[in-house]
Amino acid sequence: MSIGHTLLGLLESGPRHGYDLKRTFDETFGHDKPLHYGQVYSTMSRLLKNGLVEVDGIEAGGGPERKRYAITDAGVTDVKQWLATPEKPEPYLQSTLYTKVVLALLTRRDATELLDAQRSEHLRLMRILTDRKRKGDLADQLICDHALFHLEADLRWLELTAARLDKLAAEVRPS
């Protein structure tokens, strides 16, 4: 996810302080990975430098000054272009899991045990996500569905790989 574009998009509804941006981001997108304050302010600094936001006001308080940021016309254009650009599908052509299976075979370790342990871990996480989905709002349900669909695809791959282990071992092990 592009943090900069997400913060710009949040600013389209009106000027906000960095704290407000962080809070809104965390509530809307950061359920599993909230932003750090430093990340918000470094991103806002970069957006300011690039002319995508401007300081709309500065308030003095008991602590450091609080800047209120507003999106510029260039920022609106940037978000519009980002939203209109499809994301590149990211196939996992060289996944860590595949590497582990091949290395287990090369080192004559039990690849079936590795696949079984991974299957158990996937199923454990799927149970957690399914419970979260059942209790969550629509946004959380959609996020959980996305993760569950990826985990289901991984499970299919685990099953297919388990069925082909002997053939894979014959291909990857030196003669």
In sequence order, the 6+-apart residues with CB closer than 8 A to the CB of 163 are none
Which contiguous run of DSSP H or E holds residue 115? helix 111-135
Q: Which two tokens stand for residue 84?
A: 């209109």
Mean pLDDT to the nearest integer, 95-109:
89
Residue range 64-84: average pLDDT? 92
Q: Say what the pLDDT of residue 1 is.
A: 61
For residue 65, the one-letter residue type is: E
- Which of the residue ranges 48-62, 76-90, 94-108, 117-131 has the most confident prediction, judged by mean pLDDT? 117-131
Q: Give the number of other CB atoms < 10 A from CB of residue 79.
A: 22
Question: What is the CA 148 to chain-centroid distance, rounded?
Answer: 14
**Count helices and strands in the chain by DSSP H and E runs:** 8, 3
Strands 53-59 and 16-17: unpaired
Residue 45 contacts residue 3 (beta carbons within 8 Å):
no
pLDDT score of 158 more than 90: yes
Q: Residue type for 61, please?
A: G
Between 107 and 4, whose confidence is greater? 4
54 pLDDT band, cuts 50/70/90, is: very high
* 19-43: burial string, b at 16+ Cβ within 10 Å, e else: ebbbbbbeeebbeeeebeeeebeeb
